[in-house]
Amino acid sequence: MKKFTIMTALCALVCGPALADFQPNKPQAPMGGGFVGGNETISTVKQAKEMRDDVPVILQGKILQRMGGDKYLFEDATDSVTVEIDDEDWRGQTVTPNDTVKLYGEVDAGIFKTEIDVDYVEKIK
């Protein structure tokens, strides 16, 4: 009987605080939406090539050509760089070499060359 009382008290101490915040009908905050802009820092290709690996970057320029697979040649006023854009990163947009785009991604600094791994493409109107 003494062991049962101790186990019940121990269970109440452990489970009580865990269940105290449980509210099954608590409304959830909506996800997404809101203000975008005003604090973007657009880097040049020349600057991106000097950054370390995995640094977030935003580039603005033109995609000149497809180099094969998901690799493309991107250029701005300072230089050109190979970018990797997966199918879902286009977000349904069609882009030509005449279109100006913003590329949001990360620097992929390799031993011999730097590329940009794009998270998404934004076509500038």
54-66 per-position pLDDT tens digit: 999 999 999 999 9
**Taking 90 as the threshold, does the pLDDT of residue 3 lie above it?**
no
pTM: 0.69
pLDDT digits (tens, 9 = 90+) for 12-34: 666 655 555 555 554 454 566 66
Buried b (16+ CB within 10 A) or exposed e, 69-101: eeebebbbeeeebebbbeeebeeeeeeeeeeeb
Give the pLDDT confidence score for residue 125 in this predicted structure.
Answer: 73
Domains of the chain as residue ranges with CATH: 45-123 (2.40.50.200)
| Residue 6, pLDDT score | 73
Mean pLDDT of the chain: 84
In this prediction, residue 15 carries a pLDDT of 61
- 36 has pLDDT over 50: yes
Distance CA 109, CA 49 (A): 8
